[in-house]
Amino acid sequence: MSTMHLTAANNWDRTMRNLDTLFNYNLTMMMVDPTLAEMGKNLNQAMKIFEDGQRPSEPDGERRRFSRSSIPGPLQRDGQDVASILQLVQNLMHEEEEDTPSHRRMQNVGEQGHMALLGHSLAAFISVLDKDRLRKLTTRIASDTTLWLSRLFRYENGSAYYHEDDREGLLKVCRLVINARYEDYTTEGFTALNSRQPVIYQSATCRPGLGQHLCCQLGLPLSSLCTVPCNTMFGSQHQMDVALLDKLIKEDMETGKLPLLLIANAGTPWAGHTDKLGRLKELCEQYGMWLHVEGVNLATLALGQVSSPVMAASRSDSITLTLGPWLGLPAVPAVTLYRHDDPALTLAAGLTSSQPVEKLRALPLWLSLQYLGHDGIVEKIRHAAELSQQLLEKLKTLASIKTSVEDEVNSPVVVFRFSQETSAASSGGSMEGYFAGEREVIDTLNRWLGERLAQLVPASGVDVVELEEEGTCVRFSPLMTAAVLRTQCCDVDLLVEQLTELVPILSCTLRLRQDFREEVYRHSALSYIQDLSWPGLGAVRYEPRGEELDDGKRQQEVEKINSELLKKLGDLDADLIFSTGPEFGPEKDCIFIGMATEDLDVSELVDMIATLGRDLEESGRLLENMTEVVRKGIQEAELQLQKANEEKLMEEGVLRQIPLVGSVLNWFSPFQSTVKGRTFNLAAGSLDSTEPTYSMKAQTGVVASPETPTFSSKRLPGQRLFRRGGSDSHSETSSVGQAEDLSKEGVHSPSAPTPPCVLQPDEVTSEALERPQVPQGQEVNPLTSQVLAQPEAGQQEDGQMGTEERGMEKIQPEGQQTIEESQEDETGR
């Protein structure tokens, strides 16, 4: 059973145990309620199914066919029991776990999460109570939850609206303000807005699509939405420009428009910066506008020490709290706290409801808040804030990392990025104007950095954000992720450790990109592919040299060669990663090289790519020409065979062609044919005679002269391809290992027979050092090292064998001399 399956089973186990305990208690106290008894029975059955984690009893093939079908099956006429339905739900939850492993981290549901899940089940049961009991219970739940939240987040005398969509509360607030500012809106509708067009102001750093959603739901034109730019000269570049907002409001009022509402941020969605809420509140009071505040920094209102910009949010007209991610509560509603005294207008705007069932939305939150308590809620928020400070302090020690935080003391969101300037400054140089498009390349590298950190440390919850000024950055927002992922201090330490290892790779890759491009330009067969969105060394394409090919064939050949070249490079023992690049990238038939390290030899890498590509091109051309060569060779062979048969007939005569007579004649007088065989050389594409082949086989006892042993340059053991070697790159152990490898290659096993005239390199070297001086005109036996007398011509029994012996005796000193020279070179080095 997979880990995710076990986690889900354990979560269901705990939840169902809580439900079982609750309903067993209710059954004991109220045995007369049949509905509650039936619910308790079904919940007990569900608990057993999810606790055991069993699959349905049908065959795997049938289950798989059902689970993977996108077309729902027919509804059964007789229905199904609860156990079958729950088993079906479990299959749908884990249908792809066995075949497709998922890397997504499942949310950890703690005990407080079980209380939230319990609240949903209780809400469904409580909704069937009689009206009087339902009204009393829902009123108590809603009033308690509102009071707790108002005191916890310093928002006194506030009312609460609970909603599933976190934008729904702001939408209801907009309706409330419209009803309050346009007296005839309730009776005349949108025609009441014609007198003065309402205007909603929002910061340029608000959530994308928030203003458009409001205009769409309210039926307002997009001209009613005004986006206020951020500071450009003074203050944070993520804060709303208050002076410019004042100017925009005055201009709208002069044109007959009505400033309606201002949306401010207490923690922008991407960078976590807080607007100047104190000045914005004064501006809204001056022009009679409604101030709504939202953002993750509102969670810090529950702490003992709160920064003054965030504290000003408690004086706003409404705020939206997202307690689910802050406290790690699944499926709890968001809360919008607001201040307004007219119940009729709040009812018309939808902030309150006359239906008691609507108030049951607060039940999961009511149970969870009681389970956590005041201290538990504050501790979760404080823990998230401490994680941010821990990471911020450690990032200050990294020279190549630039942080972007509003307040280094109380910032719950940390945004950082790999910086080109800081990397160059740390290395003592400047990289200004290093290459064209450097901003895009650095953004690409930061995107790779964020994705890589999220994979290596999933418990950290880091993600990638795009900021207008800074570009691509990595964001750490524990208030939104720590409670869900259970992030601890050790996870932050691991995050910094991984970041320390990845930063040098980013610096080397950025520096070597230019070298790689210049090396590619030196090879006429290679084309450099400019792709600024690729987080790596670069991309290259091998271009074949056949200019006579048309565009279609040339494109096929380019695709074929680069595909085979990519396979060849992937099989090499190298640390680099070669791929086809982004799946939906614009460049095709290319080879993309991944991230680089400090000791990468770019010239060797490019030379290897060009060499392999040239070999593949030549082998492909040879195969293409093979068909034509073979066809011509076969035709020529047929003509040669026909000519040979005619010559044989002329030499043997007519009588030897008669079956019986020819056999008798050949027995009495054998005939030696002079017709020679033919062999077809595929490499040369020509027909050759077989006479040299048979003449070589006929010479028995001839020993081929051994090739002169050579020592090609070898890499040290453990050294991979495309790595530069230096004086400190290899230790004495590596040198010893290299000598051992070379000696193993040059020495045969003692049991293996060795030709008498072929000595091994080590043996020849040792004999060359110990060989005595030989007088001129004398020779030495290569096996015994004894001086032999010069043989005379008449003393040899077989001239051919004598020639062979002298040939071998003359060959051996040459090989000996070569090995001696190699030995001297090795000694010198």
Domain membership of residue 694 (yes or no) is no
483 and 532 part of one domain: no
Contact predicate 538/528, CB 8 Å: yes
Any idea how long the chain is?
Answer: 829
Distance CA 197, CA 322 (A): 32
470 and 532 part of one domain: no
* 247-300 pLDDT per residue, tens: 999 999 999 999 999 999 998 888 888 999 999 999 999 999 999 999 999 999
Q: For residue 160, name the pLDDT band (cuts at 50, 70, 90).
A: very high
Taking CA atoms, 321 is separated from 163, 182, 413, 424, 483, in Å, by 11, 28, 17, 43, 15
Q: Which one of 622, 655, 671 terminates a domain? A: 622
Q: Comparing 52-61, 145-154, 643-652, which segment has the lowest mean pLDDT?
A: 52-61
DSSP secondary structure string for all residues of 563-625: HHHHHHHHTSS-S--EE---TT-S--S-EEE----TTB-HHHHHHHHHHHHHHHHHHHHHHHH
* DSSP 8-state class, residue 797: S
The pLDDT value given to residue 359: 87
Residues β-bridged to residue 402? 417
The pLDDT value given to residue 674: 63
Residue type, 154: R
Contact predicate 388/412, CB 8 Å: yes
Q: What are phi and psi of 415, to 5 degrees?
A: -115, 125
DSSP secondary structure string for all residues of 399-456: TTEEE--S-TTT-S-EEEEE-HHHHHHHTTS--TTSSTTHHHHHHHHHHHHHHHHHHH
- pLDDT of 751 > 50? The answer is no
498 and 549 part of one domain: no
Scan for tokens 């070569």, then name that residue.
818
Contact predicate 51/16, CB 8 Å: yes
- Beta-carbon-side half-sphere exposure of residue 805 (alpha carbons within 13 Å): 16
Specify the 3-state DSSP secondary structure of 710. coil
Percent of the chain with pLDDT over 90: 35
**How high does pLDDT run on average in the chain?**
75
Q: For residue 172, name the pLDDT band (cuts at 50, 70, 90).
A: very high
Please give the structure tokens belonging to residue 69. 């079908």
Q: For residue 501, name the pLDDT band (cuts at 50, 70, 90).
A: very high
Contacts of 313 (CB under 8 A, 6+ apart): 266, 277, 293, 298, 301, 319
Domain membership of residue 540 (yes or no) is yes
Among candidate residues 555, 28, 566, 470, the one with its CA nearest the CA of residue 205: 470
Q: Comparing 237-251, 252-266, 496-510, 698-712, which segment has the lowest mean pLDDT?
A: 698-712
The pLDDT value given to residue 524: 87
Structural domains of the chain, count? 2
- CA-based Rg of the chain, rounded to a whole angstrom? 43
The pLDDT value given to residue 716: 55
Q: What are phi and psi of 414, to 5 degrees?
A: -115, 125
* 455-491 pLDDT per residue, tens: 999 999 999 999 888 889 999 999 999 998 999 999 9
Domain membership of residue 589 (yes or no) is yes
Domain membership of residue 361 (yes or no) is no
442 and 407 part of one domain: yes
The pLDDT value given to residue 425: 40
Distance CA 776, CA 57 (A): 97
Specify the 3-state DSSP secondary structure of 308. helix
Specify the 3-state DSSP secondary structure of 317. coil
542 and 575 part of one domain: yes
Query: Which CATH number does the domain housing residue 560 bear?
Result: 3.90.1150
Contact predicate 764/819, CB 8 Å: yes
393 and 452 part of one domain: yes
Average pLDDT over residues 120-133: 83
The pLDDT value given to residue 687: 66
499 and 567 part of one domain: no
* 385-414 pLDDT per residue, tens: 999 999 999 998 888 899 887 666 677 899
Specify the 3-state DSSP secondary structure of 549. coil
Residues β-bridged to residue 263? 202, 292
496 and 554 part of one domain: no
Percent of the chain with pLDDT over 70: 65
Query: Which CATH number does the domain housing residue 491 bear?
Result: 3.90.1150.170
Domain membership of residue 605 (yes or no) is yes
Contact predicate 227/216, CB 8 Å: no
- pLDDT of 75 > 80? The answer is no
470 and 528 part of one domain: no
Q: Which one of 479, 506, 533 terminates a domain? A: 506
Q: For residue 431, name the pLDDT band (cuts at 50, 70, 90).
A: very low
Q: What are phi and psi of 436, to 5 degrees?
A: -70, 145
477 and 530 part of one domain: no
Q: For residue 108, name the pLDDT band (cuts at 50, 70, 90).
A: low
Domain membership of residue 145 (yes or no) is no
Please give the structure tokens belonging to residue 549. 């090919």
Distance CA 663, CA 768 (A): 63
Q: What are phi and psi of 283, to 5 degrees?
A: -65, -40
Residues β-bridged to residue 562? none
394 and 455 part of one domain: yes
Specify the 3-state DSSP secondary structure of 280. helix
The pLDDT value given to residue 45: 57
Contacts of 539 (CB under 8 A, 6+ apart): 528, 529, 531, 581, 587, 590, 591, 592, 593
Q: Which one of 506, 539, 563 terminates a domain? A: 506
Q: For residue 586, name the pLDDT band (cuts at 50, 70, 90).
A: confident
Distance CA 11, CA 300 (A): 29
The pLDDT value given to residue 119: 78
- pLDDT of 151 > 80? The answer is yes
pTM of the model: 0.70
Dmax (CA) of the chain? 138
Please give the structure tokens belonging to residue 570. 């992937």
The pLDDT value given to residue 707: 42
What is the signed CA dihedral for 522, 526, 530, 536, rounded to 10 degrees? -90
Taking CA atoms, 378 is separated from 299, 372, 375, 381, 390, in Å, by 9, 9, 5, 5, 18
Interior CA angle at 222 toward 221 and 227, to 5°? 145
* 302-349 pLDDT per residue, tens: 998 888 889 999 999 999 999 999 998 888 999 999 999 899 999 999
Domain membership of residue 545 (yes or no) is yes
Taking CA atoms, 472 is separated from 54, 395, 447, 729, in Å, by 46, 17, 6, 36
- pLDDT of 692 > 80? The answer is no
Average pLDDT over residues 691-720: 51
Specify the 3-state DSSP secondary structure of 340. coil
Specify the 3-state DSSP secondary structure of 540. strand
Please give the structure tokens belonging to residue 378. 């504050």
Contact predicate 609/569, CB 8 Å: yes
Domain membership of residue 349 (yes or no) is no
The pLDDT value given to residue 796: 41
Distance CA 95, CA 92 (A): 5
Supply the range of the domain harboring residue 447: 381-421+437-506
Identify the burial level of 653 via C-beta atoms within 10 angstroms of its C-beta, where 0-12 means exposed, 13-18 middle and 19 or more buried: exposed
413 and 485 part of one domain: yes
The pLDDT value given to residue 653: 72
